[in-house]
Amino acid sequence: MDVLSNPTKYFWITLFQSSSFLAPVLTLFYLQKGLDYQQIFILYTVIVVSMFLFEVPTGIFGDKYGRKKSIVVGLVGWIIFTIGLLFADTFWEFFFLFMLWGINATFASGSDEAMIYDSLKQVKKEKQMQKYMGKIMSARFLPLIIIAPFGSIIAKDLTSFQFTLLILGNLIFTIIAFFISLSLVEPKVESGPHEIRSPFTLFKMSIRHIKNSPKLVSMFINKTLILIPGSHIFGLLWQPYLQTSGVSVALFGTLTAIASLIIFLLSRNIDAIESKITGRKIIFYTGLLPLVAFVLGALFQNIFAALFFYFVIKVAIWLRNPVFSQYMNEHIESHNRATVLSSLSMIDSLFDVVIFLSAAFITQISLSYSFLFSAGLMLIAIIFFRVTKEQIKVTM
């Protein structure tokens, strides 16, 4: 079978795995279960600690035994996780489920991009990585255009039965993604300077590669300091912020659908966008605009400020991902690509732990303080780790 079918198959895997009825009311689901903001942030810290511990082992698993196997195992874990949501009622039950969440994420982290890039490289189309990743990332939002409005309408009263219906819908979609993953084709991987590809050798090579790539590290820090507040902190707090700003819960799904449609269209046309605006400018402005939105969200609490906050951050953060994917993969060799990407994700987990624990304390005081904290992190990235022309290089 043709490895060029992998990007299309992974598009559908991503689409079904991202088909979540629960997404537009996820934080409200946790609150309904009796968790508070501090506990929710602690649970997300559990995710990143699990990712820290398992990123490199699962990255090595992907390089040594196959990226397809790694993706399939991760999807099995997601099925177990989704079933667990049906029964979790206490903080500690969620604690163990979130540990599993972190482990599941590491099986795809690194292996997914490595599979796509090496599949394209095998047919000499690696320069089109940005185009294909844009389409794959768009798949995360396409199902939300249809599903999210139904999810928020079904859960409008925030009852246990309504949440159960949403989780069962998620389970069906995850099972479909699992069956599609079985048809992926393992791409050929070029051998590196070491013929013996033991787990220790792969890890040692990946750390050496990162240490010798200051441009890669600088891009990684820029991405991390903007992604964590713009994706994770925003993802946890936009629902209560919009609710207290006067936006009806029943409309959350509609807002998610509109944002998802915008992101889908932009991601599908990332090549055309970059032909008019350079990738470096996209990275800069998609960091600056969320910073402004967080500041406005901290200062104002009304429907107009809330809508600006939601759409600007949601769209801008995801628009920068395919551009970063192209630039960062051009700094990594094929033979240990999954391990290097997983090692970077492991380092990202250290940032996550510090930022999540800080946000857990700050959010208990005020949502506004948490938004200003997020804006401060983004400002550091923009000033000290700005992506420059020298960081962009020709593919290896």
Q: Return d(Cα 63, Cα 69) in angstroms, integer.
A: 10
**Residue with tokens 């490595």, as numbered in its chain:** 114
Q: What is the mean pLDDT of each run of 10 residues along the chain (396 residues)?
A: 76 88 87 87 86 76 78 91 92 93 82 76 70 74 81 83 91 93 77 50 66 72 85 88 88 87 78 72 86 94 92 87 68 62 70 83 88 93 78 51
What pLDDT shows up at residue 334? Answer: 57
What pLDDT shows up at residue 195? Answer: 45
Measured in whole angstroms, the distance separating CA 290 from the mean position of its chain's CA atoms is 16
* Topology annotation, domain 8-183+200-391: Growth Hormone; Chain: A; (1.20.1250)
> Domain coordinates of the chain in residue numbers?
8-183+200-391
What pLDDT shows up at residue 203? Answer: 64
Q: Return d(Cα 233, Cα 63) in angstroms, integer.
A: 31
Q: How many other CB atoms are found less than 10 A from the CB of residue 129? A: 23
- Do 171 and 83 contact (CB within 8 A), yes or no? yes
Nearest to 175 by CA among 68, 76, 67, 107: 76
Nearest to 15 by CA among 162, 151, 145: 145
What pLDDT shows up at residue 331? Answer: 61
Nearest to 237 by CA among 159, 155, 158, 294: 294
Q: How many other CB atoms are found less than 10 A from the CB of residue 382? A: 18
Please report the sign of the dihedral spanned by the C-alpha atoms of residue 368, residue 372, residue 374, residue 378: positive
What pLDDT shows up at residue 303? Answer: 92
What pLDDT shows up at residue 71? Answer: 87
Q: How many other CB atoms are found less than 10 A from the CB of residue 365? A: 9
